[in-house]
């Protein structure tokens, strides 16, 4: 049996190789949690967008509708469009509701339905989506109240 001259060092490096990725993920998760809880909420109006992507996954695509967004919730009453351009305009949802929500979003103006996303936002940082609202209700509640 061949032994490593640095037997303890080899075990230490292997252990470190397993622990460091875990610590990195934990640190990033804690950073995001801190950012979400310390940032204030802003409500942004959105409208449908159909990218025709076969690799979309289970989320809806949207475009920010700055005309319907109350910019007074931001410093100086100016919408920080550049900060919101930094993030992908997708909201992840369960697969079983994807088609229904996507159709509802694409036809929102015709059906008199308003979509908004609540973001955790700090100036000059990428916003984090907290919740999807349909007519001022959480999307799950709206779908339960408006079953077809």
Q: Count of CB atoms within 10 A of residue 25's CB? A: 10
Nearest to 53 by CA among 5, 16, 14, 89: 89
Task: Kindly report the average pLDDT of the chain as a whole number.
Answer: 83
Render pLDDT for 59-106 as a digit per residue (tens, 0 to 9).
788 899 999 999 999 999 999 999 998 898 888 888 788 788 888 888
Q: In the structure encoding, which two tokens stand for residue 76, read together?
A: 């100086």
Dist. CA 10–CA 45, nearest whole Å: 55
pLDDT score of 127: 92
Does residue 114 register a pLDDT over 80?
A: yes
pLDDT score of 41: 84
Q: Which of 81-91 are b and which e, b meaning 16 or more Cβ less than 10 Å from the residue's Cβ? A: eebbeeeebbb
């Amino acid at each position: 049996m061949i032994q490593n001259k640095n037997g303890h060092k080899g075990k230490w490096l292997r252990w470190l190789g397993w622990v460091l990725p875990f610590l990195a993920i934990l640190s990033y998760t804690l950073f995001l949690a801190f950012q979400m809880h310390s940032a204030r909420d802003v409500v942004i109006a959105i409208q449908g967008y159909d990218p025709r992507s076969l690799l979309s996954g289970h989320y809806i695509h949207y475009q920010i509708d700055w005309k319907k967004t109350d910019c007074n919730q931001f410093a100086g009453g100016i919408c920080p469009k550049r900060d919101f351009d930094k993030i992908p305009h997708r909201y992840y949802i369960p697969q079983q509701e994807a088609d229904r929500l996507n159709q509802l979003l694409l036809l929102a103006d015709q059906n008199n339905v308003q979509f908004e996303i609540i973001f955790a936002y700090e100036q000059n940082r990428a916003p984090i989506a907290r919740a999807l609202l349909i007519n001022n209700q959480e999307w799950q509640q709206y779908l339960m109240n408006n079953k077809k």
